């Protein structure tokens, strides 16, 4: 089959003829005979035929040449984005000395014998797994963050016990604090607890307790890996994944690194404590540690060749695409007097002849030194210094990788590519996210003209939305609300990208990560107009619950028909997959029961839809509001989100 031809200009013969005839009254009003017998019209048709041939040849330009045209005007395709996750290293046994995991430690998925299908990740920071030293214990009451009761003596001496929650009656917010002498950031901490069955009334499989770590600015959630104590209610062990940030804090006159177990309000149907659990002993050990990792392979020092002493020299790295450079990742020019560190710049516009600058294309790995440019007055100016003749060009270190292949599932990164003392195994407890393939030529064709028109400046609402989408691959949708008053800021309503199924989406999943907000702000800061203030937030998510009565065809299982209907509802009423186009529920579009009934009738196994009602739903309290209706209005700052649909199949 023939290759698809790009359509740079879709005008045909008749389109060109009609356009030329429409221009006749403007440029030659005395020409009034536009019939086919007129010689002038014949000339128009002749030139239209020739123009159509030129357009046909222009449309044969391949994508590679089109992207070269974009390169000439400074528009380069985006390189791949790297996927990131956290790797947890498990020690072979609890140790009494520290174990170090160096930055750049490679971990891979299980591939084929040839290694072609494996996905390689590398740690992005050093990890030190140090033995914890428990030095303090306190209890605190709800609503009083100044008064603490020292419980250290009761915890460490035999025969005493610590009452964890001291309010009477027990109130949400009561907490027991454990203080450590050193930071446990990233540590996989095991707490061996001795406790008596005092905290009656609680479900041991789902206790209303939140473990948290002080980070220096706030109490961060600390995930529980395993818990055999039934909510501090019996002897057992609790394994915590301490966050990567942990800082000392003074509580009740004791300065330490604190982890606390805080009593939270019970959810609907969740039992809580009728009396407080009591601890008689606690011992802390390190079982491992968690560190951030990215889909990348680390390449050490690489020689690129020797300089010829001419302007505009080009070299190429052995591996590409190249990830964003970090400290210590730069080019060195090795001279007789010693190595010289050169600086990477975006372009040579502001580079002088003495500036040691270079440009590195992340997508291709091409390295360029400054060119000599001839100007209109005849002068030739050198933009960027030239490495001396014979000097060796060296890349000290770089990382390559990225792409959608890095979005691996949880538990798949388990092959340690280098031996580490005392490390038994490694895994990723959460899936890797953020990997996006490099920009396609088709998308570059669309983005190129838009970038040229705006000059990479955020002026209109469309500019803000486009630049916000460019800031990070984790931005799925964005809406810009222009200020109604001169003093008001520009508001960006951002919907983050979620990779789970629509029926698993909850309100908290759409909260913006602080890292993502910083990326958006950093991308917009140099592009916004002077005096323009920008705020980044989320839309208000209006919960909607659908109640539908469906008649199934004879012989069709009701369970299967109900599940198909629920899948359609969760997918249709969703900020990411909803709407008629399946690209996310549109802003400013109300929800009507009629199209929902039409979709349900189209489901295999449905004979007819007898009734569809819509209910507004509070996503926090889990309750419906008001009576069922056929239309739910949407505010301009809101999006619909599915919640607790009910489908009855008869």
The domain limits of the chain are: 13-61, 84-129+403-427, 134-287, 298-401, 456-537, 540-649
Q: Contact at 8 Å (CB) between 312 and 371?
A: yes
Phi-psi region of 621 (alpha: psi -120 to 50; beta: other; left: phi over 0): alpha
Higher pLDDT, 434 or 543: 543
DSSP-derived secondary structure for 444-481: HHHHHHHHHHHTT-B-SHHHHHHHHHHH-TTEEEEEEE
Confirm if 316 and 365 have CB atoms less than 8 A apart. yes
The 8-class DSSP code of residue 575 comes to T
- Flag whether pLDDT at 390 surpasses 50: yes
Is beta strand 631-632 parallel, antiparallel or unpaired with respect to 591-592?
Answer: antiparallel
Token pair recorded at residue 581: 């186009």
Per-residue tokens: 483? 């200020």
**Interval 330-373: pLDDT, tens:** 999 998 888 999 999 988 988 999 999 999 988 889 999 999 99
- Cβ density class 368-395: b for 16+ within 10 Å, e for less: bbbbeeeeeeeeeebbbbbbeeebebbb
Please compute the mean of the pLDDT values over residues 180-188 and round it to a whole number. 92
> What is the rounded (10 degree) CA torsion for 8, 12, 17, 18?
-90
CA atoms of 216 and 201, how far apart (whole Å)? 35
588-612, pLDDT tens digit by residue?
889 999 999 999 999 998 989 999 9
Closest C-alpha among 635, 643, 645 to residue 540: 635
Q: Average the pLDDT over each of 237-246, 421-430, 451-460, 638-647 and give the range with the smallest value.
A: 451-460
Q: Two tokens at 123?
A: 């740690």
Contacts of 377 (CB under 8 A, 6+ apart): none
Residue 497 has pLDDT above 50, yes or no: yes
CA 472 to chain centre: 7
Quick one: pLDDT at residue 413? 93
Q: Specify the pLDDT at position 238.
A: 94
The pLDDT of residue 287 is above 90: yes
Rounded mean pLDDT of 306-332? 91
Q: Distances in Å between the alpha carbon of 261 and those of 191, 221, 298? A: 12, 10, 40
- Over residues 218-229, mean pLDDT: 90
Round to whole Å and give the CA distance between 608 and 601. Answer: 6
pLDDT > 50? residue 530: yes
| pLDDT of amino acid 211 | 94
Residue 233: predicted pLDDT: 86
Mean pLDDT of 30-37: 82
Confidence label for 529 from pLDDT (cuts 50, 70 and 90) = confident
Considering only CA atoms, which of 448, 451, 439 is closest in space to residue 69?
A: 448
- The predicted structure's pLDDT at residue 51: 87
Q: Provide the token pair at 87.
A: 């790797």
Helix (H) or strand (E) holding 307: none
| pLDDT for position 3 | 46
Residue with tokens 């890095």: 406
Residue 143 has pLDDT above 80, yes or no: no
Fold assignment, 134-287: Jelly Rolls (2.60.120)
Q: Is the pLDDT of residue 632 over 70?
A: yes
The CA radius of gyration of the chain, in Å to the nearest whole number, is 32
Give the rounded percent of residues in the chain with a pLDDT score beyond 70: 95
pLDDT digits (tens, 9 = 90+) for 51-60: 888 877 766 6
Helices (H) and strands (E) in the chain, counts: 9, 41
Which CATH number fits the domain 456-537, given the four candidates 3.40.50.150, 3.30.300.30, 3.40.50.300, 3.20.80.10?
3.30.300.30
Confidence band (pLDDT; 50, 70, 90) for 142? confident
- Position 114 scores a pLDDT of 54
Digit-coded pLDDT (tens) for 59-92: 666 666 776 777 776 677 777 888 989 999 999 9
Distance in angstroms (rounded) separating the CA atoms of residues 492 and 477: 10
Measure CA of the first residue to CA of the last residue in the chain; give whole Å: 50
Q: Beta strands of 181-277 (E only): which ranges?
A: 187-196, 209-214, 219-221, 224-227, 236-241, 248-251, 254-263
Tell me the pLDDT of the chain averaged across its residues: 87
Contact assessment for residue 279 and residue 162, using Cβ atoms and an 8 Å cutoff = yes
The mean pLDDT value for 255-268 works out to 89
DSSP state of 22: H
Which segment, 29-43, 113-127, 174-188, is predicted with the most confidence on average?
Answer: 174-188
- Paired residues of 209 in beta bridges: 263
For residue 32, the cross-strand partners are none
**pLDDT tens per residue across span 232-241:** 888 999 999 9
Residue percentage of the chain with pLDDT more than 90: 40
Asked if the model's pLDDT at residue 442 lies above 90, the reply is no
pLDDT of residue 541: 93
Say what the pTM is. Answer: 0.67
The overall longest dimension of the chain from CA atoms, in Å, is 115
3-state SS string for 145-176: CCCEEECHHHHHCCCCCEECCCCCCCCECEEE
How many C-beta atoms lie closer than 10 Å to residue 261's C-beta?
25
Mean pLDDT of 109-119: 70
pLDDT at residue 231 tops 90: no
Distance CA 140, CA 146 (A): 8
pLDDT attached to residue 454: 61
The model's confidence at residue 2, banded by pLDDT at 50, 70 and 90, is: very low
How would DSSP label each residue in 30-93? Answer: T----STTSHHHHHHHHHHHHHHHHHHHHTT--HHHHHHHHHHTT--PPPPBPPEEEEEEEESS
Q: At what angle do helices 39-58 and 13-27 cross, to 10 degrees?
A: 130
The answer to whether residues 304 and 317 touch, using CB atoms and an 8 Å cutoff, is yes
User: 13-29 burial, b for 16+ CB within 10 Å, e for fewer?
Assistant: eeebbeebeeebeeeee
* CB 137, CB 178: distance < 8 Å: yes
Q: Is 218 helix (H, G, I), strand (E, B) or coil?
A: coil
* Contacts for 530 with CB less than 8 Å, ≥ 6 apart: none
Find out whether 419 and 40 touch, Cβ atoms under 8 Å: no
Q: Nearest to residue 122, comparing CAs of 109, 110, 104?
A: 104
Quick one: average pLDDT of 108-126?
79
pLDDT score, position 1:
40
């Amino acid at each position: 089959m023939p290759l698809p031809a790009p359509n740079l200009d879709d005008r045909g013969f008749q389109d060109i003829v009609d356009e030329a005839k429409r221009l006749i009254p403007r440029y030659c009003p005395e020409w009034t005979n536009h019939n086919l017998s007129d010689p002038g019209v014949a000339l128009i048709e002749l030139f239209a035929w020739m123009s159509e041939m030129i357009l046909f040849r222009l449309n044969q330009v391949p994508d590679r040449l089109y992207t070269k045209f974009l390169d000439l005007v400074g528009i380069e395709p985006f390189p791949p984005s790297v996927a990131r996750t956290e790797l947890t290293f498990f020690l072979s046994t609890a140790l009494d000395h520290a174990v170090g995991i160096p930055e750049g430690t490679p971990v891979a998925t299980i591939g084929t014998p040839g290694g072609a299908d494996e996905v390689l990740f590398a740690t992005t920071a050093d990890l030190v797994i140090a033995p914890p030293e428990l030095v303090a214990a306190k209890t605190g009451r709800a609503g009083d963050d100044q008064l603490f009761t020292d419980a250290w003596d009761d915890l460490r001496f035999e025969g005493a016990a610590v009452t964890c929650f001291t309010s009477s009656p027990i109130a949400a917010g009561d907490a027991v604090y454990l203080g450590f002498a050193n930071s446990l950031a990233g540590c996989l901490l095991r707490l061996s607890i001795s406790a008596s069955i005092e905290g009656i009334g609680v479900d041991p499989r789902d206790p209303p307790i939140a473990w948290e770590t002080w980070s220096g600015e706030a109490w961060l959630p600390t995930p529980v890996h395993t818990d055999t104590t039934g909510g501090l209610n019996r002897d057992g062990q609790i394994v915590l994944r301490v966050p990567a940030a942990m800082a000392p804090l003074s509580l009740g006159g004791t300065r330490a690194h604190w982890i606390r177990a805080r009593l939270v309000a019970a959810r609907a149907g969740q039992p809580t404590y009728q009396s407080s659990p009591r601890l008689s002993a606690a011992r802390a050990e390190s079982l491992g540690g968690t560190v951030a990792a990215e889909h990348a392979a680390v390449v050490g020092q690489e020689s690129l060749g020797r300089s010829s002493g001419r302007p505009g020299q080009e070299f190429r790295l052995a591996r590409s695409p190249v990830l964003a450079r970090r400290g210590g990742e730069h080019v060195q020019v090795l001279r007789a007097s010693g190595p010289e560190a050169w600086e990477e710049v975006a372009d040579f516009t502001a580079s002088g002849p003495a500036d040691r600058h270079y440009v590195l294309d992340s997508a291709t790995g091409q390295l360029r030194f400054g060119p000599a440019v001839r100007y209109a007055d005849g002068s030739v100016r050198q933009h960027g210094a030239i490495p001396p003749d014979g000097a060796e060009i060296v890349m000290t270190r770089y990382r390559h990788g990225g792409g959608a292949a890095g979005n691996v599932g949880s538990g798949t990164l388990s092959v340690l590519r280098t031996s580490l003392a005392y490390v038994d195994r490694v895994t990723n407890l959460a899936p890797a996210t953020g990997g996006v393939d490099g920009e396609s030529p088709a998308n570059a064709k669309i983005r190129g003209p838009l970038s040229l028109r705006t000059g990479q400046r955020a002026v209109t609402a469309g500019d803000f939305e486009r630049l916000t989408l460019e800031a990070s691959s984790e931005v799925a949708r964005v809406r810009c609300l222009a200020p109604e008053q001169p003093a008001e800021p520009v508001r960006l309503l951002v919907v983050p990208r979620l990779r789970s199924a629509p029926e698993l989406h909850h309100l908290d999943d759409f909260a913006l990560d602080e890292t993502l907000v910083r990326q958006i702000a950093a991308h917009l800061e140099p592009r916004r107009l002077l005096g323009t203030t920008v705020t980044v937030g989320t839309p208000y998510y209006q919960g909607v619950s659908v109640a539908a009565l469906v008649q199934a065809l004879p012989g069709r299982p009701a369970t299967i028909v109900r599940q198909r209907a629920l899948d359609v509802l969760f997918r249709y009423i969703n900020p990411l997959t909803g709407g008629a186009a399946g690209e996310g529920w549109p802003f400013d579009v109300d929800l009507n029961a009629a199209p929902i009934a039409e979709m349900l009738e189209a489901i295999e196994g449905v004979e007819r839809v007898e009734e569809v009602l819509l209910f507004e739903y509070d996503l926090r309290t889990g309750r419906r509001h008001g009576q069922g209706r056929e239309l739910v209005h949407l505010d301009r700052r809101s999006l619909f989100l599915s919640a607790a649909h009910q489908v009855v199949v008869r």
